[in-house]
Amino acid sequence: MSMFFQTSKRAIERYITAMNAHDVEGMLAFVAPHACFVDSQGDAISGVNVLAKVMRRFFEIEPRFRLIPTEIAEFRGAVLIRGSVEADDPDLLHDSLWRTRVEHQRLVFWQSFADGKAAPIARSLAPRDHFRPPVQT
């Protein structure tokens, strides 16, 4: 495994650990200021301030949310995560894939792919002036 992958994987694992602890400030320590997050509907938000607002609101709504990674691999410069989610909302309970990119040990891109009916998290929780339309993948 490449040094780039090992470094990126560690940053992502730390981000997931902070996410599972609902530690928004801990999550932000591993996020680049210009990072883009895309939900399973293809809706996007950008920037750490918006992410902080969205995640605080999300954790209020979903106090049992946890991302459970089962496999982390590198593919063409991206770090791919396979896993599942624990949550109260049945629309969130599914096996998922996430595609991420890390630069300088900080997340710059995170995209969710989910089986079945996916919740429109970015559209629902992002402030209107920070919401971006779906991205093409």
Q: How does pLDDT run across 79-113, given as a tens digit for each residue?
A: 999 999 999 987 777 778 999 999 999 999 999 98
pLDDT in tens, 47-69: 899 999 999 999 999 999 999 99
Residue 92: its pLDDT value, please? 76
Q: Can you tell me the distance from the alpha carbon of 107 to that of 97, in angstroms, rounded to the nearest whole number?
A: 16
Domain span at residue 34 reads 3-132
Number of domains present in the structure of the chain: 1
Answer whether residue 14 is part of any domain: yes
In a domain, 59, yes or no: yes
Domain with residue 74: its CATH number is 3.10.450.50
Residue 137 included in any domain: no
The span from the CA of 71 to the CA of 95, in Å, is 12
| pLDDT score of 4 | 74
Return the H-helix or E-strand segment holding 65. none
Hey, which bits of 25-137 come out as E strands?
31-38, 44-46, 66-75, 78-86, 95-103, 106-114, 131-132
Whole-structure pTM value: 0.85
- Flag whether 66 is in a domain: yes
Residue 33 lies in a domain: yes
In a domain, 36, yes or no: yes
In a domain, 44, yes or no: yes
